[in-house]
């Protein structure tokens, strides 16, 4: 039986890479995102194993409607990949734009919750399924300017753990993927399309790529059914933890 994966944020980066990897392995993919033209390009590339849904995960009603109206070959979701998310700005908290904070909370937290809550009952009823949440090392390790972005990813980490606790006794699995520096459109979005500033983040080092994370997610999902990979923290070799910061003039 062909299995089906629902991928949020499938128009670029990790999401698009996941769509390509799962289709290559014979899965059906429901690819969702806000950019219709990107989704059409993905469907044209990958063919009939892909069903596209133009969707803003911040809209709870739209999420419910989209999932209730999936065509029959794609209606039973075996795996949910909560990938949609973003970082906005890198200013310190006292000078941040509240609208950017709210957008990160609405997307990274609420959007993930809406999709999970909409799909979880059918997974529990079938006694099988897998929720894969894309978090970040920023949820564990703070950095200047990471403020609300890091806090949203800390939520994803703890929600994943609590979700696993709630699902004890069922065969539904939960995994939190925590990538470090990865060259996708992440920094381009964070810096509002500033190519030079985004490119400087990855200058003179080899970051992770979308394909790397897609490979890890596919491995997690295809582990034996009795195995739950709770979390995967992954960095490029060129990245590590920094020393403690000290303000010497205080």
In order of 30, 51, 96, 131, 211, the CA distances from 120 in angstroms are 16, 20, 35, 8, 27
Contact 157, 211 (CB under 8 A): no
Query: What is the widest separation between alpha-carbon atoms in the chain?
Result: 65
Catalytic residue IDs:
149
Contact 28, 3 (CB under 8 A): yes
Count other C-beta atoms under 10 Å from residue 122's C-beta.
13
Q: Measured between alpha carbons, how far is 135 from 133 in angstroms, rounded to an integer?
A: 6
Tokens of 103: 């957008």
């Amino acid at each position: 039986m062909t299995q089906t994966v629902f991928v949020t944020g499938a128009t670029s980066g990790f999401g698009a890479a996941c769509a390509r990897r799962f289709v290559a392995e014979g899965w059906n993919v429901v690819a969702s995102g806000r950019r219709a033209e990107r989704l059409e390009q993905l469907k044209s590339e990958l063919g009939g194993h892909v069903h596209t849904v133009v969707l803003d995960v911040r809209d709870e009603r739209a999420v419910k409607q989209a999932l209730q109206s999936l065509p029959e070959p794609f209606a039973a979701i075996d795996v949910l990949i909560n990938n949609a998310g973003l970082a906005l700005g890198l200013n310190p908290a006292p000078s941040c734009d509240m609208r950017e904070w709210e957008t990160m909370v609405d997307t990274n937290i609420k959007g993930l919750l809406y999709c999970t809550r909409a799909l979880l009952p059918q997974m529990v009823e079938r006694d099988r399924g897998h929720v894969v949440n894309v978090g970040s090392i920023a949820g564990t390790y703070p950095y200047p300017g990471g403020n609300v972005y890091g806090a949203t990813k800390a939520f994803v980490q703890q929600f994943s753990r609590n979700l696993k606790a709630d699902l004890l006794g069922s065969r539904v699995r939960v995994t939190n993927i925590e990538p470090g520096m990865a060259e996708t459109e992440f920094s381009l979005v964070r810096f509002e399309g500033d190519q030079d500033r985004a490119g400087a983040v990855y200058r003179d080092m080899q970051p992770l790529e979308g394909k790397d994370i897609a490979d890890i997610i596919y491995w997690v999902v295809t582990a034996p059914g009795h195995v739950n990979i709770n979390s995967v923290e992954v960095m490029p070799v060129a990245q590590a933890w920094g020393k403690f910061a000290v303000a010497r003039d205080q």
